[in-house]
Every structure is written in structure tokens, then in C-alpha cells.
A and B are shown apart, each in its own frame.
Chain A
Amino acid sequence: MLTLVGSDQPGIVAQITHVVYHQGWALGETSMLRLGGNFTIMMMVAGAESNEALEKVMQPVAYRLHLHLHIDEISGGLHQHALPNYQVRVMGSDRVGIVAQVTGILAEADFNILELTSDVAGSADEPVYIMTIQGHSVSELESIEKALSTLDDVDVSVKPIEILFG
């Protein structure tokens, strides 16, 4: 797993993937995100050579783009998608600790978070914090709802995710 983090600028993805490709590494699943002027990309790459070799070819491009480079060996291959069965949406006035509280409760309910995004909407003097979590849990809907109902100053909804195959 190749992870690069730093300030956003045009052409980052093209320059990184150019190096990956031309050095003979195969690119698998990737996830890129921009957040507040920052850039992060995680890429699954596969190749015949060692981690050190990969680091050596990636270091110059990372340096040039002022990105932090991080490489981890992973055992998994492609196509190991975990599918969420619940979506949790939390909304409330923006205050500290919402994320920690919600995710803490979910962890106790054996809820494995697969995707989490949060954003602030509303006006500047009345900001509203919105967090959307998709994840997997073997717990019943009611027990997850009950656990989250202890948070009384935010609006929480839990919805089962039924994936359509057709």
C-alpha cells in the first residue's frame, strides 16, 4: 500500500501514476481525497521487486511534489470489498467530540466502520455538523439505534443498506 499525503496541486495524480507505471509496478485499487487544500492518495500496487525498491523509485517524485510517502506491505489482493449493511447519519450543531462519541458507541456495538465522511453545513453563525458512516455490524438495527439514542443533542438516523443486485 502506497500512501502519499501533502498539499494539493494540479497534476499530482498524473505524475505519481506515471512513475508507478514506468517503473513496472501494477496499480490496483486506489482512493484519492482532497480535503481543505490537502491531498491524499492510497494506492494498492503490485510488483516483483521489494518495498525498498518501490520506495527508491517513488521518493524523487514525492520529494518534488512535497508529499509524505509511506509504504506498507499488505497481504491482501484485489477484490476484497467489505460491504456495508448499515448507514448512520449524525447531524447536530457543530461541537467538539461528536465523532469520538458516535464512533465509540458504534465500536461497542461491534460496528465496523467502512466509510466515514463529515462536513459542516448551515450558516457561519449556525453551523450544522453532518457525518455519514457506512459500515457493517451483525447487531440488530434496534440495538444500534438504542445505543446511539443516548446522544440527545444530535439527530441520529440508522438505516439498513440493502444492496440491489440485478
Chain B
Amino acid sequence: MAIREILKIPDERLKRVSEAVEVFDNTLRAFIDELEETRLASPGAIGIAAPQVGHFQRIIIVDVSNMRKPVENHGHMILVNPEITHWDGFELGREGCLSVPDYTGNVIRAEDIHLTAQDQWGETHEYEMTCFEARAIQHEVDHLDGITFLDRLVSRRTDLFQRKVYQKKSKKTEKIKSK
């Protein structure tokens, strides 16, 4: 096993779309071990996608079970051919990336997702995920499609906040009325 080199922007290969995994053999599993070893060698990385190490197959690893502030999670996940089948809600959050050193930015992601993926043995699993874990999945699946969070950055002065205010405000008005 070996730690692989992580591709960094502006490497054009980060824009490549990865291909589906069709053969679930020991070669695949050996690669997944290397991918995980590479993730663990990167401080704070809650996920990694195969194309980040120059391997263009649809494989990601996500684990948000060790956060400073615990979040809802499914533990350590090896996800092969992951497919998001349902999106709901939206939430603004700050992201950084192993392939984008020393930079973070705000990105809007779906709050809740449904996910179908295979494991390293080819067996299919379904997941329902929320918030931080759902964000991590969306970030990594984007890598499989040649997209980094830089492609989804929103301005600091986003009108997302204002939309939320209108909801709050109507609640408040009701409160006042009922007094």
C-alpha cells in the first residue's frame, strides 16, 4: 500500500468525469485501501474521491463520525458508483478541499439526500443522509463528475439569508397578532 499524490488545482485532470466500476476484484479493493490511506494522511479530511488521486473510477470514501461536534452519520463508508436519487432542502455551508489548498468558501448544498451505492464487494446499499454528511457526499460525488466546490461558490452576500428571513418574519407577525 502507498499514499497516493493528491491532484491540486489547476490540474485539468480534476475536470475529468470518472467511469463506473464494473469489476469488483482484489485490484479494486487494493486501490480502495490506498485511497483510504491517502485520506487518513490528510489532516481533517472527512472524505476523498478516487479522481483526486488521479484514478478515474466512481469511488468515494466518506466518514464524518469523528467530528469535533458530533453530527448524524453512517460511520465509515466506502461508496462505489454512488448515485444521489433524491435531494431536498438547501443549506449554506463552508467547504475546503484537499485539491484546493488553503482556501475555503461558501457553497449551497441539499440538506437531505437519498443515496444508492455499492460497496467494495459489489453489493448495493441505500442511505438517507442529512446535513453535514449529506454535504460531504455531494462534495465527493461532484469530484466524480469533474466538479470542485469552486464551481459552486456563492457570494458572501447571498440572498439565501433573505429568503429565510421572510419565513421567520411571517412567524413573528403571527406571534404579535396572537398576543
Contact = CB atoms under 8 A, between A and B. Distances in A.
Interface of A: 79, 81, 83-84, 89, 91, 115, 117, 119, 121-122, 128, 130, 132, 155, 160-166
A81 B169 contact: no
Contact of A166 (B46, B93, B102, B103): B46
B96 A163 contact: yes
A162 B69 contact: yes
Nearest to A80: B102
B104 A81 contact: yes
Given A91-B168, A130-B161, A161 B94 contact: yes
Interface in B95-143: 95-98, 102-104, 132, 135-136, 139-140
User: Interface majority SS on A: helix, strand, loop or mixed?
Assistant: strand
Nearest to A89: B161
A111 B17 CA distance: 43
Contacts of B44: 165
Interface of B: 42, 44-49, 62, 67-69, 71, 93-98, 102-104, 132, 135-136, 139-140, 156-157, 161-162, 165-166, 168-169, 172
User: Interface majority SS on B: helix, strand, loop or mixed?
Assistant: mixed
B161 A132 contact: yes
Contacts of A91: 165, 168-169
Contacts of A115: 156
B168 A165 contact: no
B59 to A, nearest CB: 14
B139 A164 contact: yes
A120 to B, nearest CB: 10
A53 to B, nearest CB: 30
Contacts of B172: 155
Nearest to A155: B168
Given A121-B166, A166-B49, A166-B136, 13 more contacts: A83-B104, A91-B165, A119-B162, A121-B162, A132-B161, A162-B93, A162-B94, A164-B46, A164-B95, A164-B96, A164-B132, A165-B45, A166-B45
Given A117-B157, A155-B172, A162 B165 contact: no
A34 B65 CA distance: 41
Contacts of A119: 157, 162
A130 B167 CA distance: 13
